Structure 1
Amino acid sequence: SQATSSCLLGACYPPSGDLVLGRTQQLSASSTCGLTGSEVYCTPYQQRRMKCCPCDSRNPEGQLAHTIQDVLSTAGPDRWWQSQKVSPVTIQLDLKNLFQLDSLVLDFKGPRPQALVIERTLDNGRTWQPYVYMATHCPSAFPGVPTSTPLKMDDIYCYTLPPVGYDLYKDHQLQIHFRPLEQYMYVPVPKDQKIEGLTGLRVKLVQLGEVPEIPGRSLSRFFALKEMRVVGRCMCHGHANKCLPDTYTTFSNNIQCDCQHNTAGLNCERCADLYNDLPWRAAEEGNPHVCKRKPL
């Protein structure tokens, strides 16, 4: 883990956690089944049969509800979010403050989408930049987007999703892991320069998954997600090893860096008053870039 406890020798980082927890009000989906009344969805069952189940999300706590809050890791094994029979659908997490993303885990309930885009914002949702494109067949899903691993920090690329196999509804094959630092593995800059901030994350589900053909039966096509984990930490530019809870939020909304190295600001993004002898810099491994006091 990057959670280096000592800040004396160089860059240090707060421990990471699941940023979705404690932020259910900031998590939204552009489509959810059953919000205005019961809807029926049909999926395969045993050999060449199908079963049809209702979705009714008018009461979010109900057994038949499949709201976006059901993707929290604390929601339990039998809960999931489900869209209506539409595409594309967007899931959005607004963080409001600057964080760094360690990993995103999407645990789909079959079938897995054939194409999606993971995007981030730095200005609380006014503009969005793609982090990565993902598809079972990149050239047809995202024409013109390169499929080679990035060699520069501003390269975008499409990651080819591994085949799901024969059973499109087999749960263990439907997880997608995204780690920003891994995709920049071949970019020749130090690790601390590869850490990018975000104030929000968006998953755009662009293409519905394939459904099997069953003669005389019509299976429903929708997106469904069992769990979403957004693992990250507050962005402190290597100048803090813990975050302080803001007074207006629950404890899990750790949003202020406990700044070291004579730095200051919500994200340790400047030198503290009277410590402006050198220009501010982000800390690096092996060099904390401590802000120096101006000689009197």
Structure 2
Amino acid sequence: MTSAVVAVFVLILSVELAVRASKIKYHDQFPGKIPDPCYHDNGEPKRCVPDFINAASSRKVEASSTCGAEPEHYCRSSKDKNGEITRHCFVCDASNPKYSFPPEFLTDLNNPSNVTCWMSKTYSAVQYPSNVTLTLSLDKKFELTYISLQFCSARPHSMAILKSVDYGKTWTPFQYYSNDCKKMYSKSPRSQATKANEQEALCSEAYSNIDPFTGARVAYSTLEGRPSGQDFENSPVLQDWVTATDIKVEFHKLNTLGDEVKDDDGAKKSYYYSLSDFAVGGRCKCNGHASKCITGRDGRLACDCKHNTAGYDCEKCQAFHYDRPWQRASSREANECVACNCNLHARRCRFNYELYQMSGSRSGGVCLNCKHNTAGRHCHYCKEGYFKDSSRRITDKRACKACSCHPVGALGKFCNQTTGQCPCKDGVTGLTCNRCAKGYQQSTSPVAPCIKKHAGQLVKPWVTEPSANRHVVKKVDYKQSGHHDNAVDTKHTESHKPAVTEASRGRPNPREEDEETEDCGKCRVKKLTIQKFCRRDFAIQAQIISRDQEDDWIKFTASIDASFRKGVPERTTRKAESYIWVQKSDLACKCPKIRVSRRYIIVGKNRAEDKNRPGYVVDRATTVIRFKEKWQRRLRRFAKRELNGKC
């Protein structure tokens, strides 16, 4: 890069600062809010970047060698009218400000009419194989455009510019300069950057001449000659290449006229490293999510992040904004972080990439620790033992009501999470299974509390009542009690009639079960093997939400938490919610056994005759297993084998 190009950079920087100042003055005329550069006028997010600055300005530079710790002489070389070399010698004394050359002069205001220089010790202390280093810490990641060095001495014979992205822990070469690239750095000066080596440091022999003796500049452009430089926005490789937290300049060899070999003390004292300006042009790295950098509470420089992003470099999403993955903003898309949809029932969530892919790259957030008796990926349905109050929105804290299933009339404690209907025993009806159905009357059995009426027969009802530790059965007289023969009574009593224990409550009569299932035959043993996985069309992890009946089919609504097979047919494309169909006769035989509010691993085939039923059709040949972490881990191993073509 020539001095003219650097001058253009300086001009651009000056113009940007002037424009920024004029904008501030303009907006100061009005009491309204200054527009945020990270948002359009309509509030939509857009890419924004901090101002272009000299990141080295007024920053501390550490030098490994500085003259004047003890007063010493140095000489300045110049050419007279006849081209002869002349030298004028002076004193360097760090204790006297007038004769000192500290590293602070490298990053102070560069005033051409009052040039200040840093200077190293002279030839004997710094010549090859010794070296001198200048280290500049930016205290934050910056995306650099150029590094400029203005010399007070002659330019070095050989030097290297290095960068660090981890605050000086490790260093990566940025650029080499040498009179002899092959000998000093084992690099060809004719090498060029290609798509395959865009992050490789090159070596140049163009800026290593001893002439002029003072005032020369070396400027390195980070993107010059890099093939993807014109498409920087879409090149993560170059975005990493220009990123740095620290810059180091290593001077490896002085340029000399060859007279240092003579016994001439004046010649040796005229060779040293000296610079008047160390400039680093770039922008605070904020990944397109901030328009400025500010000093945080911890005293560190950090981006003033927008678009629901966080971090010193806006390199991650804010807490609870994990519905899609963090991305760098571009001119086409701001890639704003989106909050998880937890229906106001959770404060924490996580991102699941597999669910994000399943949704067509729309949503991947999974809510954690759902409150208010809710459950599901979005806390969008009621947990076991609760159902949705139809009069309230799901975002209401009281949207989920307890099932309150009758302890004798219901088959279990859990109801349909959508309708609130408890699973009733034969002949029992009501939302909570608290009364006998039409044509039924109460019996003496807590296992079958309601039996069919027979013509001409009057059977006085038996009513279940709770005692301290069990439910007891009590005979009720119609006339005295005033009970209707369809009511199921649970008032407290001390009667000593036959008891219904916790172990027996809700279970069917063994004889009745044998009669119902004697034609079922035996279910297949469900084994989950790689051979079975590869021969099946789908493999999913599902949470059963509700159950409905359509003709001879039971339709379960399920939340599909994960899908482990690739390339499934369109009708079984993975969704956040779907349906699972089971024939009523198979379910009665518990082939398979599926219950509401439980999680299952389901591996099966698609059948052509089931095209009219959206979702997944499950039959006796389908593997249905209660969810366990070990099954999930096994399916993930199978899925990896399938991706590697080992099915």
TM-score, length of structure 1 as denominator length? 0.84
State the 1:156 CA deviation: 2.3
Verify the 8 A CA contact 1:211 1:221 in the aligned structure 2: no
Residue in structure 1 matched with residue 304 of structure 2 by the alignment? 258
1:242 alignment counterpart: 292
Aligned to 2:466: none
User: Distance between the aligned counterparts of 1:273 and 1:216, measured in 2?
Assistant: 70
Give the aligned residue type for 2:201.
Answer: I
Q: Which amino acid counterpart does residue 199 of structure 2 have in structure 1? A: D
Measure how far apart 1:188 and its partner are: 7.3
Higher strand share: 1
Distance 1:54 1:188 in 2: 47
Structure 2 partner of 1:65? 100
- Aligned match for 1:43, one of 72, 76, 79: 76
Corresponding residue SS for 1:268:
coil
Pairing partner for 1:155 from 200, 219, 223: 200
Larger CA Rg, structure 1 vs 2: 2
The one of 198, 206, 227 equivalent to 2:277 is 227
Q: Which residue of 2 aligns with 1:294?
A: 340
Q: Which amino acid aligns with 1:246?
A: G
- Partner amino acid, structure 1, of 2:331: E
Structure 2 counterpart of 1:21: 57
Higher relative contact order, structure no. (Cα contacts within 8 Å, ≥ 6 residues apart): 1
Contact 1:272-1:291 within 8 A present in 2 as well: yes
Q: 2 CA distance for matches of 1:44 and 1:189?
A: 43
Q: CA deviation at 1:286?
A: 1.8
- Residue 148 of structure 2 is matched in structure 1 by 105
Structure 2 partner of 1:7: 38
The residue correspondences of 1:172-191 to structure 2 (distance < 5 A) are 174-184=216-226, 186-187=227-228, 190-191=231-232
Q: Aligned Cα RMSD in Å?
A: 2.8
Distance of 2:110 and 2:49 partners within structure 1:
29
Contact 1:119-1:130 at 8 Å conserved across structures: yes
Query: Normalized per residue, which structure has more helix?
Result: 2
- Given that 2:156 and 2:208 are in contact with CA atoms closer than 8 Å, whether structure 1 keeps it comes out as no
Distance 1:55 1:290 in 2: 56
The C-alpha deviation readout for 1:182-219, integer Å capped at 9, x for no partner, is 242x1378313323322211011111123475998542
Q: Does 1:91 align with 2:117?
A: no
Q: Structure 2 CA distance, aligned partners of 1:163 and 1:127?
A: 27
Specify the SS of the correspondent of 2:105. Answer: helix
Aligned to 1:122: 165
- Give yes or no for contact 2:158–2:208 (8 Å, CA) kept in 1: no
Q: Unaligned 5+ residue runs, structure 2? A: 1-11, 21-35, 40-44, 343-647
4+ residue segments displaced more than 6 Å: 1-5
* Partner AA of 1:43 in structure 2: R
Mapped to 1, the partners of 2:117 and 2:57 lie a distance apart of: 15
**Other-structure match for 1:55:** 92
Q: Deviations over 1:144-194 (max 9, x none)?
A: 4664232233222112324648x43152xx10111212242x137831332
In structure 2, the CA distance between the partners of 1:284 and 1:136, relative to structure 1 (3 Å rule), is farther
Q: Deviations over 1:76-110 (max 9, x none)?
A: 53310111121410000122322222221100112
- Paired residue type of 2:287: H
Cross-structure match for 2:115: 78
Percent of paired sites with the same residue: 27
Find the aligned partners of 1:229 and 1:216 in 2 and give their Cα distance: 38
2:519 maps to which residue?
Answer: none
| 8 Å Cα contact 2:254-2:273 kept in structure 1 | yes
2: CA distance between counterparts of 1:170 and 1:42? 12
Counterpart residue number, 1:273: 319
